[in-house]
Structure 1
């Protein structure tokens, strides 16, 4: 609770008052910490060089997106995959594990820095800060509502193999909470946005937020870890806090881009 009370005002201040360059660098820093956590779960400890190279590739890929050089993104990804392929090929001890580790290494670049860097793109829209608040509220309120509703009346398991504590009732409660939160942000910060767009985005962002949460839970079960890290007191790692947002930010960006 104390961590949240300190972090929330700081987050609002950074979103609202920092310039775009500083914000982009902050996004990349968070992405690199998250990517480090992902590789700590996914890759064997002895693959230190592969981790360093993959994190460097992730940094460059994320920077290309943050600074809107999308024309370079495909080139960067191709070079990254080629570099990692050669590295794993030259240093492999066993073919199957080398292929698995290569897939994990490249997937991490897509999953963390590329997905997260959409928050920098979202902020650069007209009213981008407000759309960013909108996305955060949908994810955070939906997560809290899902927890409380699921704890109170949850009976039907949503995905017992991935997360035994999550329920269908909790998911529906989270969806309702996200819609209410979205409506409040629309009234306070986005009066120009149409109700149809707000409802459409609230619905899809809430669904993708819950999918992001489930997906990270699946990864942790796959890698047999409880938390992605321990950098945030009482909250685990950076990926544990970003789970739903990694799916929410790209969806929010493309919704505003094409429909906003």
Structure 2
């Protein structure tokens, strides 16, 4: 527990510091996290980290993230998302041919999915921060609501369990045995409280109704993002995606909710 707390405080302080600083410092941190997360995916699937297929994925990931570094309109005209997705698919399928199926179609599909999953997720973390003059406000809003949801779920479940008020109802025991319905409700409530505090801090930026809606959606979608990765790790037979953060696991273990929440909010128009 001591190691977990120390790691959380140090890593959290460094992350928040670069988030507040913004600009290329924050974008570079997110890009680095994306690359480490992709490396964790490759290793969880027991593939060669620097094989041809994995290198295609690394390159695709960098290209997905590149627009956030403001490389100019010419770049975005040439490297469109449609072209990028197709050429990544083409490259990975070509590897299966040239490797004579040493890289299987299943592995190619896995790397393709991983590149899109991580690329789009981390891209929107970067975009939220650099978008407009209120990027810091919205980025802090989303991150703090996610963290509040996690904390609310953990402490609600723990308190009810220790007090033995009633038998906790498992949320999805086949995938994540420790998550409970009561914890999920506690997470939603605390995320909404945090969201409302942002409304009172800047009512001109977010209405009360919008803030409440964001809090609820962030908590629910964040929990689903957590379950998605738990399901994957269960299939792969691993507890943690990596060991980079002592007591916390890998990058993917810490960002599972982020990777789903940020693009979801943008793509449905809530941010």
Fold agreement, TM-score > 0.5: yes
Q: How far apart are 1:250 and its partner, in Å?
A: 1.2
Aligned to 2:164: none
Aligned to 1:89: 97
Please tell me the root mean square deviation across aligned C-alpha atoms, in Å.
2.2
**Which residues of 2 match residues 1-260 of structure 1 at below 5 A?**
1-19=5-23, 21-45=24-48, 48-64=51-67, 67=70, 69=76, 72-93=80-101, 98-123=104-129, 124-153=131-160, 155-188=168-201, 191-254=204-267, 258=269
Q: How far apart are 1:74 and its partner, in Å?
A: 1.1
Q: How far apart are 1:49 and its partner, in Å?
A: 2.6
Contact 1:141–1:178 under 8 Å retained in 2: yes
- Aligned pairs, how many? 255
Contact 1:118–1:250 under 8 Å retained in 2: yes
Contact 1:163–1:214 under 8 Å retained in 2: yes
Q: How far apart are 1:43 and its partner, in Å?
A: 4.5
Q: How far apart are 1:182 and its partner, in Å?
A: 1.2
Contact 2:48–2:54 under 8 Å retained in 1: no
Contact 1:35–1:113 under 8 Å retained in 2: no
Contact 1:150–1:170 under 8 Å retained in 2: yes
Structure 2, gaps ≥5 residues long = 162-167
Q: Distance in 1 between matches of 2:235 and 2:132?
A: 37
CA 1:101–1:92 in 2, change beyond 3 Å: closer, same or farther? farther
Q: Distance in 2 between matches of 1:37 and 1:46?
A: 9
Q: How far apart are 1:238 and its partner, in Å?
A: 0.3
Structure 1, gaps ≥5 residues long = none
Q: How far apart are 1:190 and its partner, in Å?
A: 5.6
Deviates further, 191-200 or 156-165: 191-200
Q: Distance in 1 between matches of 2:254 and 2:263?
A: 16
CA 1:221–1:92 in 2, change beyond 3 Å: closer, same or farther? farther
Contact 1:121–1:253 under 8 Å retained in 2: no
Contact 1:61–1:114 under 8 Å retained in 2: yes
Q: Distance in 1 between matches of 2:175 and 2:100?
A: 31
Q: Deviations over 1:133-161 (max 9, x none)?
A: 01011111100110111223361111111
Give the alignment's TM-score, normalised by structure 1.
Answer: 0.90
Deviates further, 34-43 or 160-169: 34-43
Contact 1:39–1:105 under 8 Å retained in 2: yes
Q: Deviations over 1:62-105 (max 9, x none)?
A: 223564838611111111110111002221447xx812111101
Deviates further, 79-88 or 190-199: 190-199
Q: How far apart are 1:235 and its partner, in Å?
A: 0.7
CA 1:259–1:103 in 2, change beyond 3 Å: closer, same or farther? closer
Contact 2:39–2:49 under 8 Å retained in 1: no
